[in-house]
Structure 1
């Protein structure tokens, strides 16, 4: 019995946990059903999940395939090793990560959050990491996810000094990434220790200062690397489907409201609980971020589940003239730093085989996103 008490994975068949879970689970869905109608709720849930699968998951899979191919040839021809040597002296003191992780930042900035997973699957990349550093890649990559799309979209808005605001937003997201990664590193050090290296297969017997390459001519190595990297991207794309469909469906239904004709059972409808909570907290959030309009709070809340959807909100609000350049800075930093992390974090941590740290990753990144927004607001105020 003493051993059972020490094993936290073993619990009684029926304990208070069962009743607490049932109360929360039934309470949530009974409330949603009472607002939307039971049939509409189930239909919306199914159609939203299908929409996420077709328009988000397969898009992310395509991104992962491209990123996987590029990552593989970078690994094969020594780019990762070069970057690690050049940037390690910067990345180590700032993030406590190897220099090679900077490639993950670039991959995600050019595409989306899961792009870092294809790098993390490559032994020539993994060999630079200690176990406690690997889970933090999720927080690092997500901090810059969809960066290029976000920044260029914000710069194109019909708002005075929009370009300046977007550039300040990049600085804010950097601050947010440091906060998120550093908090995560503190958690992982306690869990994994600081000595063990990440396990690798192909580079296990390779001496320090050398790297493992494929057999054959330069052309054959290039073709093999890019195709195998793309295959890793497919695997990663499949791995994130459960997390995106399950988690993002819930986030969407808690974030969005009814359609123009009310609840009809269409995809992407919901009960708008998260914006309501955000509105109640707007007096604090507006003070921290300096928003011009209280309704701007909808943008960071939407960015929790989808950066693309939040960009749509910004475009609509800028057309009505309720967005300032300071708002653009804050929106850019938060949309980049959060970039829909609630819909990808769980899947990414699972793909990295570090799902035991998922809760910590989400908590640290939540704090990092707020830090990014506050930093962007303060930097913009200082620059005038």
Structure 2
């Protein structure tokens, strides 16, 4: 019994002590600069303001885009887009044409849409194993694309978000092809092994689904699509709350500074300006690669690693401070779409596909792809600005 207790303590102590040290060190640093009461008030007020003025705004966009996306699915717009994009799949992404459906679905919703699609046995039958595994990177690069573009347009930028979309497209090519290369290097046999072999029973299951909507009127089909899609948007809006409130609050505290007079008052969106200071030490890298004119802007790509919804919540404050220009919006759109919280979704996505051991390779490939997307968006915006 004593040995069991001792083993339990030795298992948890190595994890618990570093966790406590990191948490205490972080809050000790923040309170030493801001003062303990001011730090606590700022955290609470920032989270509260983000919930009221950012999360509900994003949720509204999620509901509208979710309804439109479901309407597109119901009336064949998604299939039309899939047919138009199909010729690009093999030469650019080395994927079968049906993969374009995954790009459209994740663009209209979020990264996990590729998971539900990849569980369809008929869909999987078109892929070799190395192509099937790379769907994680391919789908993530377009995740929440419609939401990101609509949000940026809502901030008053029109050309820049679509330049960012082009950058995300290029970053997706880099990420997907690099992931395929990693998989083939680790498992050469996956080049010829099929992801799934379709049988007669699976091939015969489409008839009822294809005719399910025939008994409904046009009005009911439209109404059901809008309401079901809007309900999905609510789910997405609720799902982004933890990321926005937790990640964005701490990123903002590490990004913004004190009040105009240099004093800390406990108001929302005050902070210690640690991230800009760190970025300033290597600012030439971000200025050269991304065209960032202010070191504060590095907070967006850092936040997008965990949640693109949280990253979007930073933009209105950046605009208010005068740090954002069209180039930054293009880069934000590209890296926000391409990364779209992949650190928090890649593990679950690959686990659901049954290839958890390849998570580190997928993350590395997508990191490179996101940086490539931002660089392409920056260069494309510079070219656009010349005309």
Task: Specify the alignment match of 1:72 in structure 2.
Answer: 70
Residue 257 (1) aligns with residue 257 (2): yes
Task: Specify the alignment match of 2:273 in structure 1.
Answer: 272
Matched-pair contact (CA < 8 Å) for 1:171–1:333: no
Residue 282 (1) aligns with residue 283 (2): yes
Task: Specify the alignment match of 1:244 in structure 2.
Answer: 244
Task: Specify the alignment match of 2:25 in structure 1.
Answer: 27
Task: Specify the alignment match of 1:178 in structure 2.
Answer: 173
User: What's the CA shift for 1:207?
Assistant: 3.2
Alignment of 1:205-220 (within 5 A): 206-207=205-206, 211=210, 213-214=212-213, 216-219=215-218, 220=220
- State the alpha-carbon separation in 1 of the partners of residues 213 and 10 from structure 2: 52
- State the alpha-carbon separation in 2 of the partners of residues 245 and 359 from structure 1: 27
- State the alpha-carbon separation in 2 of the partners of residues 134 and 315 from structure 1: 36
Q: Among 11, 14, 21, which residue is 2:12 paired with?
A: 14
Larger radius of gyration: 2
- State the alpha-carbon separation in 2 of the partners of residues 177 and 229 from structure 1: 26
Task: Specify the alignment match of 1:91 in structure 2.
Answer: 89
User: What's the CA shift for 1:209?
Assistant: 12
Superposition CA RMSD, Å: 4.4
The two structures have a TM-score, normalised by structure 2, of: 0.69
User: What's the CA shift for 1:268?
Assistant: 1.7
- State the alpha-carbon separation in 2 of the partners of residues 186 and 11 from structure 1: 43
User: What's the CA shift for 1:44?
Assistant: 1.4
User: What's the CA shift for 1:27?
Assistant: 1.2
- State the alpha-carbon separation in 1 of the partners of residues 212 and 76 from structure 2: 9
Matched-pair contact (CA < 8 Å) for 1:253–1:271: yes
CA separation of 1:265 and 1:218: change in aligned 2, threshold 3 A: same
CA separation of 1:248 and 1:308: change in aligned 2, threshold 3 A: closer
- State the alpha-carbon separation in 2 of the partners of residues 154 and 136 from structure 1: 29
Alignment of 1:215-226 (within 5 A): 216-219=215-218, 220-226=220-226
CA separation of 1:84 and 1:213: change in aligned 2, threshold 3 A: farther
- State the alpha-carbon separation in 1 of the partners of residues 55 and 178 from structure 2: 29
Matched-pair contact (CA < 8 Å) for 1:256–1:271: yes
The two structures have a TM-score, normalised by structure 1, of: 0.69
Describe the SS at the equivalent of 1:263.
coil
- State the alpha-carbon separation in 2 of the partners of residues 352 and 100 from structure 1: 17
Describe the SS at the equivalent of 1:13.
helix
Spell out, residue by residue over 1:194-231, the C-alpha distance to the aligned partner (whole angstroms, 9 max, x if none). Answer: 8557xxxxx99633997464463232222122212211
Task: Specify the alignment match of 2:308 in structure 1.
Answer: none
User: What's the CA shift for 1:332?
Assistant: 3.5
Q: Among 110, 115, 119, which residue is 1:116 paired with?
A: 110
Most deviating of 246-255 and 146-155:
146-155
Q: What residue ranges of structure 1 are gaps of 5+ in the alignment?
A: 1-9, 108-114, 157-162, 198-202
Number of equivalent positions: 344
Q: Among 336, 341, 345, which residue is 2:333 paired with?
A: 336
User: What's the CA shift for 1:136?
Assistant: 4.5
The structure where helix makes up a greater share of residues is 2
- State the alpha-carbon separation in 1 of the partners of residues 372 and 86 from structure 2: 25
- State the alpha-carbon separation in 2 of the partners of residues 353 and 238 from structure 1: 23
- State the alpha-carbon separation in 1 of the partners of residues 259 and 183 from structure 2: 43
Spell out, residue by residue over 1:120-169, the C-alpha distance to the aligned partner (whole angstroms, 9 max, x if none). Answer: 6976996746575256433322567533554686868xxxxxx7x87765
User: What's the CA shift for 1:301?
Assistant: 3.1
Task: Specify the alignment match of 2:230 in structure 1.
Answer: 230
- State the alpha-carbon separation in 2 of the partners of residues 346 and 175 from structure 1: 20
